[in-house]
Amino acid sequence: MSKSTANGNEATTIHITLQGKGGVGKSFVSSLLAQYFMQKDRPVRCVDTDPINPTLAQYPGLNAERLNVLKRGAINDKAFDTFVHRACNETGVFIVDTGATTFVPLWNFILQAEILDLLKRHDRQLYVHSIVAGGQALNDTLNGFERLAQTTDKRNVVVWVNEYFGEVEGFTEMKVTQDNLHKLVGSVLIRERNPQTYGDDVKLMLEKRMTFDEAIRSEEFGLVSKQRLTIVRRDIFEQIDHLGLA
């Protein structure tokens, strides 16, 4: 069941994917969120703020807008004003993809201008999605999650545990997780699967900048590949269901 505001309308929510480490799946997570809410028949507005590698904007099926945050070669914090104005005056679900270079400026902008309180006064809920990735990126991404959690006083953080680069053992029992449980809405596990089957299928889908629906309908994927993609999508979407974001 969709969340509603006091007047009975569906709530407007903002979902920002933030992580200081590059190449750990931020755009993938943003695309998954967009696809999830589209499946729920919610109006979805995707915004790509990555000035270097605007991956989300390269998905034709997501119709993402690029927000130009560069001015004379540096991040222009004032550019974020435009997005906040839209979020306060338009309805639907906003999905905001960020790059490693916009992680600190955007989050500092949100904190310094007390954007969370501003959004709340406009009946908007902001969720911050942080990726914790396995393998060599584990420590860096855990540190990124901790920085986010320590600077918010809200329960608005969703952690995506991405095992594409390696298994992440015992995330829920980690000290950083336990210390910040009161900030966590929950977590989503992108499971480690057979890289020669599931891995290749997802990799091709991402390279083609396809959504799950597009890949499953496409002749570029075989029957069994489509079955595997269906399994991955179902697993992730069911986990998002349990978070109660819709």
Q: What is the pLDDT of residue 3?
A: 63
Domain-located, residue 239 = no
As for how many domains the chain has, the answer is 1
Q: What is the pLDDT of residue 4?
A: 55
* Range(s) of the domain holding residue 63: 12-190
Domain-located, residue 222 = no
Domain-located, residue 200 = no
Rounded distance, CA 60 to CA 225, Å?
Answer: 22
* 193 residue type, one letter: R
Rounded distance, CA 219 to CA 204, Å?
Answer: 13
Domain-located, residue 164 = yes
Q: What is the pLDDT of residue 122?
A: 95
Strand intervals (E) in the chain: 12-17, 44-48, 65-66, 70-71, 74-75, 93-97, 124-133, 157-162, 184-190
Domain-located, residue 55 = yes
Q: What is the pLDDT of residue 90?
A: 94
The helix/strand/coil state of 18 is coil
What is the Cβ-side half-sphere exposure of residue 125, based on CA atoms within 13 angstroms? Answer: 17
Domain-located, residue 199 = no
Give the Cβ contact number of residue 78 at 10 Å: 10
Domain-located, residue 167 = yes
Q: What is the pLDDT of residue 2?
A: 54
The distance in angstroms from the start CA to the end CA of the chain is 7
pLDDT of the chain along its 246 residues, tens only? 456 554 445 789 999 999 888 889 999 999 999 999 999 999 999 999 988 889 999 999 999 999 888 877 778 888 899 899 999 999 999 999 998 888 888 888 999 999 999 999 999 999 999 999 999 999 999 999 998 998 888 899 999 999 998 999 999 999 999 999 999 999 999 999 999 999 999 999 999 999 999 999 999 999 999 999 999 999 999 999 999 986
Q: CATH code at 111? A: 3.40.50.300
